[in-house]
Amino acid sequence: MPNQSTTHQHTLGSRVFDVLNIALLSFLALITILPLMYVLAGSFASEAEIASRPFFLWPEKFVTTTYEYIFDSGTFVRALLTTICVTAVGTVVQVLLTFTMAYPLAKRYLPGRTLVLNLVIFTLVFTGGMIPTYLVVRDLGMLDSYWALILPLAINPFYLIIVKSFFQELPQALEEAARIDGCNEMGVFFKIVLPLSKPIIATFSLFYAVGIWNDYMSPLLYIDDSKKWTLQVLVRQLTSPDAQNAMAMLESVFFPTQGLKFAVVVIATLPILLFYPFLQKHFSKGVLLGSVKE
């Protein structure tokens, strides 16, 4: 890996590049983090402070009323647990389905492969729409079931095709060896290919997990029982511009505050953010390709 300093000669040009590179990346990180700091600071600031200071990175007075408001509703913990469960199970199911389908599609010699690929690509741009999908989910008896949050989105065609092309880049030699040892294709996939694909599995686990975590539409449409609501349903309505609009114009009971919006962002993203560093080690580790000569 290039981040191991032994790989590089420390020429002057190389050092200059390093300095520039670090400076530029730090600048990028800075412009990313400043607005986020505002969101975080705002979630701990009083509504009056948000209204009276245009931009700040640290609240003058720490208040936790917004968080208390969110945690106060007894449903928060249940929604959080539900979401974690559904995300965990869903990610495993979706990754498994995607990777098993991608593997045969990576085999160019497989008859019928092009047809299936064409079918997949077609769904990338055409969808039946919200209502027919709802009716299918209903006919499968999945309304009010957590499977409705997992299965209808089980394979993202976009991801499927990327995984397929990653598989195509894997070296052939190990697979060959396993076949000679008497493994069938399924055995090769589970014993050889998947272990070789750790960074990709990590990546797509993250993508799928985030997808389920952030999914708001599926629970809204498929889950009637408010006890089964996920975190996103619970919190999104508080930040929605529609709610705000409706309130300002027609209702007199409730104005969602800006601090609440910020707190909701923090609460709804923090758990899934913690997931990333955990996966990150797989990105920097690289795969066990050292043993294979291309």
Partner 1 sequence: MSASRRRRLVAGVLTLTAALLASACSSGGGGSETDSSTVTMMVPLFGTAPDPKGEMQQAVEKLVGKKLQITWVPNADYNDKTNVTLASDKMPQIMVIQGDKTSSFVRAAQAGAFWDLTDKLDKYPNLKNRDARTVRNSSTNGKIYGLYRIRPLLRSAVVINKQWMEKLGLKTPETVDDLYDIAKAFTEKDPDGNGKKDTYGLIIPKWPSPQYGSASPYDVIETWFGAPNVWGERDGKLVPGFDTPEFIEANKFVKKMVDEGLVNPDYATLDSAKWNDPFVQGKGGMIIDVNVRGTNLLDLLKEKDPNDFDKVVTVGNLKRSDGKKFSYPFTGYNGVIAIPRQSVQTEQQLDEVLTVLDKMASKEGGILLSNGIEGRNFKVQDGSAARINQDDPKIKVVQQDVEKAFIQLGTTASVGLGAYPDLYADKPHQDQVTLRNKLAEEDLKTAVHNPALPVMPPTAIAKGQTLDPIITDARIKFISGAIDEAGLKAEIKRWYDNGGTQIAAETNDLVSKLGN
Partner 2 sequence: MATDLAPPPTRAATKPGRRRERLTFRTALLRYRWLYLMLLPGLAYFIVFKYLPMYGVTIAFQDFLPFLGYSGSPWVGFKHFEELFNGPDFGRLMFNTLILALLTAVFVFPAPIIVALMLNELRHSVLKRSIQSLVYIPHFLSWTIVASLTYLLFSVDFGVIATFFHELLGGKKIDYVAQPDWFRPIIVFQLLWKQTGWGTIIYLAALAGVNTDLYEAARMDGAGRFRQFWHITLPAIRPTIVVMAVLTSGHLLDTGFEQIWLMTGALNRSSADVFDTFVYYMGITQGAFSYSTAVGLFKGLVGVLLIFGSNWLAKRLGQRGLF
Query: Rounded distance, CA 167 to CA 99, Å?
Result: 9
Query: Rounded distance, CA 10 to CA 206, Å?
Result: 36
Q: Are 271 and 80 in contact (CB under 8 A)?
A: yes
Could you tell me which residues come within 8 angstroms of residue 27 by beta carbon, excluding any fewer than 6 positions away?
Answer: none
Q: Which of residues 101-120 bind partner 1 (CB under 8 A)?
A: none
DSSP 243-293: HHHHHHHH-SS----HHHHHHHHHHHHHHHHTHHHHHHHHHHH--GGGG--
Contact status: 251 vs partner 1 (CB under 8 A)? yes
First-to-last alpha carbon distance for the chain, in angstroms, is 17
Nearer to partner 1, 97 or 220 (CB): 220
Nearer to partner 2, 83 or 203 (CB): 203
Contact status: 73 vs partner 1 (CB under 8 A)? yes
Which one-letter DSSP state was computed for residue 152?
G
Q: Tell me which of 40, 206, 234, 272 binds partner 1, using CB under 8 A.
A: 234
Q: Tell me which of 182, 241, 277, 290 binds partner 1, using CB under 8 A.
A: 241
Contact status: 282 vs partner 1 (CB under 8 A)? no
Nearer to partner 1, 15 or 138 (CB): 138
Q: Which of residues 261-280 bind partner 1 (CB under 8 A)?
A: none
Nearer to partner 2, 63 or 117 (CB): 117
Contact status: 64 vs partner 1 (CB under 8 A)? no
Q: Are 211 and 155 in contact (CB under 8 A)?
A: no
User: Quick one: which segment of 13-21, 105-113, 204-212, 220-228 binds partner 1 (CB under 8 A)?
Assistant: 220-228
Rounded-to-10 torsion of CA 255, 259, 260, 266: 160
Site of interaction with partner 1 (CB under 8 A): 46-52, 54, 72-76, 81-82, 85-86, 88-89, 92, 130-131, 134-135, 138, 143-144, 146, 190-191, 195, 216-217, 220-221, 224-229, 233-234, 236-237, 240-246, 248-255, 258
